[in-house]
Amino acid sequence: MKILHTKNEINLKLLEHRNASKSIGLVPTMGALHEGHLSLVHKAKGHADVVVVSIFVNPTQFNNPEDLEKYPRTVNEDLKMLEKSGVDYVFLPSVEEMYPQPSKLKFNFGDLETTLEGAFRPGHFNGVGVVVSKLFHIIKPDVAYFGQKDLQQVAIIRRMVEDLSFDVNLEVVPTVREEDGLAMSSRNRRLNSEERKLSVMLYESLVWARNELFAGCSWLEVQEKISHKFNEEPLAKLEYFELVKTKSLEVVSGIDLGSQLRANEFSICTAVYIGDVRLIDNLPI
């Protein structure tokens, strides 16, 4: 495994593989790796000849400076995990390498960036769009791998790829969960023991809501019960709990159980603060 820090270094290395007609898979990360990230790596290794993992905590996607400061950074542990997983290259750039001058470009993703995460994290998806487009231009992957947990991010990147004609395919890998159902996330390590026990509320609420929906309850009734549940827990603060169309992220008020539903046509999405740690999750229907 080779660790590369500059655009020139990785361009030269990957050019050799392209000239040999080898396919390149990219797994973009912000580090603090866990089994969820490794599932993306394993998927990439099964399809691409050369696997590149990027580790870069992107400052432009944090609308809260305190959140950026507290974001876990575990580079030495990350590199050991990636080497053990058989990654070929790790792209580990500095902020100065990725942003030699402040980025002035602004993406407008329309309705996609004004709902759910976009409503609570203004500017977040512009930062995501900028850094992912930079990584696509630098690494020029044939395939890029993303996790289902970041459903809205996947939708944003898919729109960017389609609208700007990036020559890259996107692969979405199912969410990896802890034994109790909590979606694996780099932020989980910030939870104390009490918060960690409570955090299973997210997944339990998603499963309960899905079951109630298919039992014939109205979505409004489901939302009200979920809101009441979180309001009763002092350590939890619910930001949103919404039913959406999976591809467009359009918020809907219910589903027609009498119609022919396509697999994963809808999803339930949520964001919750447990203590001062913000967690997101979703469950496809």
* Rounded percentage of the chain residues whose pLDDT exceeds 70: 100
146 beta partners:
172
> In the prediction, which pLDDT does 64 show?
85
137 is in an annotated binding site: no
For the cut 90, the answer to whether the pLDDT of residue 259 exceeds it is: no
Amino acid at 188: N
Phi-psi region of 51 (alpha: psi -120 to 50; beta: other; left: phi over 0): beta
**By three-state DSSP, how is residue 22 classified?**
coil
Average pLDDT for the chain = 95
Output the CA torsion 2→129→264→240 (10° steps).
120
Q: Is 187 annotated as a binding residue?
A: yes
Find out whether 33 is annotated in a ligand binding site.
Answer: yes
Q: Per the annotation, does 153 bind a ligand?
A: yes
Letter for the amino acid at 97?
E
Q: What is the mean pLDDT of residues 249-262?
A: 84
Rounded Cα distance between 245 and 279, Å, is: 21
- The burial class, CB within 10 Å (0-12 / 13-18 / 19+), for 49 is middle
pLDDT of 33: 97
Catalytic annotation, pick one of 37, 47, 124, 137: 37
Q: Indicate if the pLDDT at residue 264 is higher than 90.
A: no
Tell me if 101 is assigned to a ligand binding site.
no
Q: For residue range 1-50, list pLDDT tens digits in order.
A: 999 999 999 999 999 999 999 999 999 999 999 999 999 999 999 999 99
> Which of these, 281, 184, 279, lies nearest to 235 by C-alpha position?
279
- Are 89 and 1 spatial neighbours (Cβ–Cβ below 8 Å)? yes
Q: Quick one: pLDDT at residue 113?
A: 87
> What does the pLDDT average to over 158-187?
97
Calculate mean pLDDT across residues 274-284. 97
Residue 63 confidence (pLDDT) above 90: no
Spatial CB neighbours of 234, under 8 Å, sequence gap ≥ 6? none
Provide the token pair at 276. Answer: 């001062």
37 is catalytic: yes
Place 245 in a pLDDT band, splitting at 50, 70 and 90.
very high
Is 210 part of any known ligand binding site?
A: no
Instruction: Determine the straight-line distance between the first and last CA of the chain, rounded to whole angstroms.
Output: 39
Q: Is the pLDDT of residue 77 over 90?
A: yes
Q: Judge whether 148 is annotated as a binding position.
A: yes
**Residue 87: per-residue pLDDT:** 98
Q: Say how far apart CA 96 and CA 259 lie, in whole Å.
A: 53
Q: Is the pLDDT of residue 56 over 90?
A: yes
Does 35 appear as a known binding residue? yes
The answer, yes or no, to whether residue 257 has pLDDT greater than 80, is no
Residue 261 reports pLDDT greater than 80: no
The predicted structure's pLDDT at residue 117: 94
Q: Residue 159's pLDDT is what?
A: 95
**Which tens digits make up the pLDDT trace of 80-121?**
999 999 999 999 999 999 999 998 889 999 988 889 999 999
Q: Residue 73 has what pLDDT?
A: 94
Residue 256 pLDDT greater than 90, yes or no: no
3-state secondary structure of 181: coil
Average pLDDT (271-278) is: 97
| Predicted confidence band of residue 165 (pLDDT cuts 50, 70, 90) | very high
Is residue 257 packed enough to be buried (19+ CB in 10 Å), middle (13-18) or exposed (0-12)?
Answer: exposed
The domains found in the chain, sorted by start residue, are 2-173 (3.40.50.620), 186-284 (3.30.1300.10)
